[in-house]
Amino acid sequence: MKQWQDRKAIGDAHERRVAAALRARGWTVHPCGQGTYPPAVREALRRTRSALRQFPDLIAARGSDLITIDAKDRMPSTDTDRYAISTDTVNAGLLFTAAHAPTPLYYVFGDLKVLTPAEVVHYTAHALRHRSGVAFHLVRTERAHRFDDVFGSAGTAAAA
**pLDDT at residue 54, rounded to an integer:** 85
| pTM to 2 decimal places | 0.88
Q: Is the pLDDT of residue 145 over 90?
A: yes
Mean pLDDT of the chain: 87
Report the C-alpha gap between 115 and 97 in whole angstroms: 13
Higher pLDDT, 12 or 2: 12
**pLDDT at residue 151, rounded to an integer:** 97
97 backbone dihedrals φ, ψ, rounded to 5°: -70, -35
Strands 58-62 and 28-31 come out as antiparallel
Q: Is the pLDDT of residue 121 over 90?
A: yes
pLDDT confidence band for 1 (50 / 70 / 90): very low
Q: Give residue-wise pLDDT tens across range 58-107.
A: 999 999 999 999 999 865 566 678 898 989 899 999 999 999 889 999 99
CA atoms within 13 A on the CB side of 1: 2
Average pLDDT over residues 107-126: 92
Q: Which residues contact 155 (CB under 8 A, 6 or more apart)?
A: 24
